[in-house]
């Protein structure tokens, strides 16, 4: 069997260091919002630059909700994002009391299309939430230009793009604030749940720290109506270990993606595109093909964990079917969901496994 994802392999790769980190926390007697969280926050912020602040929270969905609240958004404020994302993106927007407005994707990058974004702006729009899906950076240059021209805030959803870059600048550093998930399968994954909010404004950072813990100030007086969304010491200690390997693990992902590219370039499969000026985090390797379901069945029959990572765009889930204007369908998004298929990709995946996967795809393609 070749699993679709293997967070246990990540633990095994760094087992001794992770076990030591866990023991350090257990011996410390301090288990929530202590030195491990503070150190992780500083180290994650330093990865993005000296002017950044990172705030650890309980999960990526809370990170989105708290980021929106931190910048002053709430009831009925519209936030433009994409339907091609985890439901968590929309859930976080709604958790903050805001209204998600769904734009279409660019068919090449599979990220927020600037032209579609422009068409969705109304007098109630307050923010844009681009999603760096699959580790692919969004077109932040054009998105930021649209935001500035329309006096809109930008919250980057970087949950699949830890340490991805555009022209040498890491994603998360373009907008007013950025959010990250540290779910176990992410490029920077805990052994449990966790999230991060990143910003440059020190006042926003302090407000976020209050909001994640009941709105408390230094004397435990609630200065705002906050929530309970604390990153615990165990997860922070584990993430500190994983953070030291993030960039090298991303490089392993890109090298494995290169192997996929080289073996599949002559097939009728559409491969993920990478721009020379960008550093793709390669969280997922997602192809597109006609007869996608037949290929998926073939691979699964051979013990290969090919997957529909997101079976449906958000607006096609029963709970969210009222989110789009039926006269303005998300054409590119819906077309993508007819063809996409995610192949196994993680740093511990062997070259031999990639070779086995691509040979099975070549075999299937030869029968078309």
Inter-CA distances, 230 with 3, 137, 198, 204, Å: 31, 28, 15, 17
pLDDT at 327 over 70: no
Predicted pLDDT of residue 326: 60
What is the distance in angstroms between the CA of the first residue and the CA of the last residue of the chain?
Answer: 25
Rounded-to-integer distance, Cα 34 and Cα 61, Å? 22
Average pLDDT (52-72) is 98
pLDDT at 111 over 60: yes
Domains of the chain, each with CATH number or no CATH: 7-243 (3.40.640.10), 246-366 (3.90.1150.10)
pLDDT tens digit string along 139-182?
999 999 999 999 999 999 999 999 999 999 999 999 999 999 99
Higher pLDDT, 327 or 69: 69
Q: Outline where DSSP puts E strands in 124-273.
A: 125-128, 153-157, 165-166, 169-170, 177-181, 195-199
Rounded-to-integer distance, Cα 262 and Cα 266, Å? 8
Look up tokens 């091609």; give the residue: 84
Average pLDDT (67-90) is 96
Between 121-125, 156-160, 319-323, the lowest mean confidence (pLDDT) is in 319-323
| Residue 122: band (very low, low, confident or very high) from pLDDT cuts 50, 70, 90 | very high
> For residues 137 and 172, is the Cβ–Cβ distance under 8 A?
no
Q: Whole-number mean pLDDT of the chain?
A: 96
Average pLDDT (205-228) is 93
Look up tokens 């095994």; give the residue: 12
pLDDT at 329 over 90: no
Predicted pLDDT of residue 218: 85
pLDDT at 325 over 70: no
pLDDT at 313 over 90: yes
pLDDT at 45 over 80: yes
Q: DSSP H helical segments within 265-350, as ranges? A: 292-301, 331-336
Question: Encoding tokens for residue 40?
Answer: 């992780």
Q: DSSP for 229-247, please give it.
A: -PPBHHHHHHHHHHHTTHH
For residue 70, which of 189, 204, 199, 244 has the smallest C-alpha distance? 204
For residue 126, which of 67, 179, 207 has the smallest C-alpha distance? 67
Average pLDDT (125-146) is 98
pLDDT at 259 over 90: yes
| Residue 321: band (very low, low, confident or very high) from pLDDT cuts 50, 70, 90 | confident
Predicted pLDDT of residue 363: 97
Average pLDDT (276-280) is 95
**Contacting residues for 325 by C-beta, under 8 A, at least 6 apart:** none
What angle is formed at CA 12 by the lines to CA 85 and CA 31, rounded to 5 degrees?
A: 75
């Amino acid at each position: 069997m070749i699993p679709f994802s293997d967070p246990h392999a990540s633990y095994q790769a760094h087992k001794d260091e992770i076990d030591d980190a866990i023991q350090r926390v257990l011996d410390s007697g301090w288990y929530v919002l202590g030195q491990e969280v503070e150190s992780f926050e500083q180290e994650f912020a330093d990865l993005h630059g000296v002017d950044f602040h990172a705030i650890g929270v309980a999960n990526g969905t809370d990170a989105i909700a708290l980021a929106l609240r931190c910048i002053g958004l709430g009831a009925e404020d519209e936030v433009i994002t994409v339907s091609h994302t985890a439901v968590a993106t929309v859930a976080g927007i709604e958790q903050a009391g805001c209204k998600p407005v769904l734009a279409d994707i660019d068919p090449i990058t599979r990220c927020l299309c600037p032209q579609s974004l422009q068409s969705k702006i109304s007098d109630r729009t307050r923010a844009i939430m681009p999603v760096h899906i699959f580790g692919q950076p969004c077109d932040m240059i054009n998105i930021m230009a649209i935001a500035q021209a329309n006096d809109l805030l930008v919250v980057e959803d970087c949950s699949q793009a830890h340490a991805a870059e555009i022209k040498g600048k890491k994603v998360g550093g373009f907008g007013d604030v950025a959010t990250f998930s540290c779910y176990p399968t992410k490029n920077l994954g805990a052994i449990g749940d966790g999230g991060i909010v990143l910003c440059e404004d020190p006042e926003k950072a302090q407000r976020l720290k209050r909001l994640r813990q009941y709105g408390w100030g230094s004397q435990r007086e609630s200065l705002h109506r906050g929530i309970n969304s604390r990153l615990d010491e165990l997860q922070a200690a584990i993430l500190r270990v994983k953070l030291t390997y993030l960039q090298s693990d991303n490089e392993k992902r890109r090298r494995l993606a290169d192997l996929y590219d080289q073996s599949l370039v002559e097939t009728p499969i559409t491969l993920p595109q990478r721009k020379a000026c960008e550093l793709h985090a390669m969280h997922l390797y997602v192809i597109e093909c006609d007869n996608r379901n037949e290929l998926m069945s073939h691979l699964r029959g051979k013990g290969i964990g090919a997957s529909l990572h997101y079976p449906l765009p958000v607006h096609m889930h029963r709970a969210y079917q009222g989110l789009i204007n039926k006269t303005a369908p998300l054409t590119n998004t819906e077309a993508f969901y007819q063809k996409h298929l995610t192949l196994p990709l993680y740093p511990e995946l062997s070259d031999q496994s990639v070779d086995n996967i691509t040979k099975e795809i070549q075999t299937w393609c030869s029968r078309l």
